[in-house]
């Protein structure tokens, strides 16, 4: 069975480039994506969809090698046995009901009638669309369309789930349910590769992120690890304490602290430091010297900040 050959663990991009004629898709991408939720983040045209199309074999790389759990995308019979893809755009053959839509794709994937029927209903139940499944997809709302697309991508129980902008158009409740579904899929050991523009959500969902800009991978890995690698921007740390003024005076004596700003509620201090390690050591001493520190938390090790530091300036100069 395809699944048995697709267990070797990671998705590998080995020096992969893709050009559409003279238009750059992605260039020299080297990635090793472990199971879990991986978010592809980047502005429009950065290469997110190209990367997804490459790993699903929809486009062939101009150069380099791709392996999805040990299977090359040029082997569709094997690859699509364990890969599910949810495209960014609405893509519904005309006249189908929600059930027929999911069922047809399963039949096209080679599932016999009875199994395709039960698997289709199971997927429809997962996305909570049973009542609407007998209606035509053309009459669905944007959120329902997103869910039925998601259902077709998970219906054949894939171990690699590739989702292009899957949260677009979902209302908050369904969004939360969908995110929970992704987490559940990831917990089971699947690859969940998604692209999103909603950075706060990416932060909440992802085990790792891949930041893309202009067809290049700008950064990859767990978001905190990525943040610590960015030396150009001092790390921001928010300290909740009873004497922010006194704390500011103490920390300003250090060379690595470049800025200290008292919080609007006067119960905290936001500092910027070039050496967070040194700062945390200093903070231990300060805590022992009479300033009561309630909490210490990095203020800019989220996707939003990393995106802003790595890609935002590039975007601004365009």
Partner 1 sequence: MAVHKRTYRGYSGGLTPAWSRFLILYRQGSRGLFRSRFLTIFLVACFFPPLVMILAAYLSHNAILQPFLKAPNKPLISIDASFFLLFLQIQGAFAYVLTAFLGPGLIAPDLSNGALPLYLCRPFSRTEYILGKMSVLFVALSEITWIPGLILFFIEASLDGSKWMWDNLWIAGAVVAGSLIWILVLSLIALAMSAWVRWRLAAGALILGVFFIGAGLHGAIAGILRSDYGVLVNPVALIVMVYKDLLGLLTVSTSGAQLGPSIEDACVALAAMCGICLILLARKIRAVQVVK
How far apart are CB 9 and partner 1 at their closest, in Å?
10
Nearer to partner 1, 111 or 147 (CB): 111
Q: Which residues within the stretch 215-274 sit at the binding site for partner 1 (CB under 8 A)?
A: 222
Nearer to partner 1, 185 or 195 (CB): 185
SS (H, E, C) the chain: CHHHHCCCCCEEEEEEEEEECCEEEEEEEEEEECCEEEEEECCCCCCHHHHHHHHCCCCCCCEEEEEECCECCCCHHHHCCCEEEECCCCCCCCCCEHHHHHHHHHHHCCCCHHHHHHHHHHHHHHCCCCHHHHCEHHHCCHHHHHHHHHHHHHCCCCCEEEEECCCCCCCHHHHHHHHHHHHHHHHCCCEEEEECCCHHHHHHHCCEEEEEECCEEEEEECHHHHHHHCCCCCEEEEEEECCHHHHHHHHCCCCCEEEEEECCCCCEEEEEECCHHHHHHHHHHHHHCCCCEEEEEECCCCHHHHHHHHHHHHHHHC
Could you say whether residue 4 binds partner 1 (CB under 8 A)?
yes
- Exposed e or buried b for every residue in 201-220, given b needs 16+ CB within 10 A? bbbebbbbbbbbbbbebbbb
How far apart are CB 186 and partner 1 at their closest, in Å?
7
Nearer to partner 1, 87 or 178 (CB): 87
- Judged by CB under 8 A, the residue of 163, 186, 241, 311 near partner 1 is 186
Q: Which residues within the stretch 67-96 sit at the binding site for partner 1 (CB under 8 A)?
A: 76-77, 80-83, 85, 87, 89-96
- Judged by CB under 8 A, the residue of 16, 46, 111, 217 near partner 1 is 111
Could you say whether residue 44 binds partner 1 (CB under 8 A)?
no
Question: Of the listed pieces 109-117, 122-130, 263-271, 286-294, which binds partner 1 according to CB under 8 A?
Answer: 109-117
Q: Which residues within the stretch 114-153 sit at the binding site for partner 1 (CB under 8 A)?
A: 115, 119, 152
- Judged by CB under 8 A, the residue of 108, 180, 249, 281 near partner 1 is 108
Could you say whether residue 112 binds partner 1 (CB under 8 A)?
yes
How far apart are CB 109 and partner 1 at their closest, in Å?
5
Question: Of the listed pieces 15-23, 39-47, 139-147, 239-247, which binds partner 1 according to CB under 8 A?
Answer: 15-23
Nearest to 156 by CA among 133, 190, 130, 180: 190
How far, in whole angstroms, is CA 66 from its chain's centroid?
19
Could you say whether residue 188 binds partner 1 (CB under 8 A)?
yes
Nearer to partner 1, 80 or 309 (CB): 80
Could you say whether residue 32 binds partner 1 (CB under 8 A)?
no
Paired tokens of 315: 């975007």
**Binding-site string for partner 1 from residue 191 to residue 220, where x marks contact by CB under 8 A and - marks none:** ----------------x-------------
Query: Where along the sequence are the contacts to partner 1 (CB under 8 A)?
Result: 1-4, 6, 20-21, 23, 35-36, 53, 56-59, 76-77, 80-83, 85, 87, 89-96, 104-105, 107-112, 115, 119, 152, 156-159, 185-190, 207, 222
């Amino acid at each position: 069975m395809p699944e048995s050959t697709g267990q070797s663990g990671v998705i590998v991009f080995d020096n992969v480039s893709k050009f559409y004629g003279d238009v750059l898709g992605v260039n020299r991408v080297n990635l090793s994506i472990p199971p879990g939720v991986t978010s592809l983040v980047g502005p429009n045209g950065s290469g997110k969809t190209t990367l997804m199309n490459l790993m699903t074999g929809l486009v062939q790389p101009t150069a380099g090698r791709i392996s999805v759990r040990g299977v090359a995308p040029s082997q569709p019979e094997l690859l699509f046995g364990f890969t599910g893809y949810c495209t960014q755009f609405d893509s519904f053959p005309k006249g189908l009901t929600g059930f027929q839509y999911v069922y047809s794709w399963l039949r096209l994937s080679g599932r016999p009638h009875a199994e395709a029927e039960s698997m289709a209903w199971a997927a429809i139940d997962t996305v909570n669309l049973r009542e609407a499944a007998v209606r035509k997809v053309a009459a669905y709302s944007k959120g329902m369309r997103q869910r039925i697309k998601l259902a077709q991508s998970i219906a054949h129980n894939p171990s690699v789930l590739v989702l292009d902008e899957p949260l677009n158009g979902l209302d908050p409740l369904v969004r939360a349910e969908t995110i929970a579904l992704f987490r559940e899929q990831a917990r089971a050991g699947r690859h969940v590769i998604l692209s999103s523009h909603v950075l706060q959500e990416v932060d909440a969902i992802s085990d790792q992120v891949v930041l893309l800009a202009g067809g290049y991978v700008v950064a990859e890995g767990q978001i905190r690890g990525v943040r610590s690698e960015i030396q150009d921007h001092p790390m921001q740390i928010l300290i909740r304490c009873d004497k922010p003024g006194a704390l500011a005076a103490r920390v300003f004596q250090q060379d690595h602290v470049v800025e200290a700003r008292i919080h609007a509620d006067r119960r905290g201090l936001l500092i910027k430091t070039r050496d967070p390690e040194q700062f945390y050591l200093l903070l231990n001493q300060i805590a022992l010297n009479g300033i009561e520190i309630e909490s210490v938390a990095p203020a800019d090790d989220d996707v939003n900040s990393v995106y802003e530091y790595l890609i935002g300036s590039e975007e601004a100069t365009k």
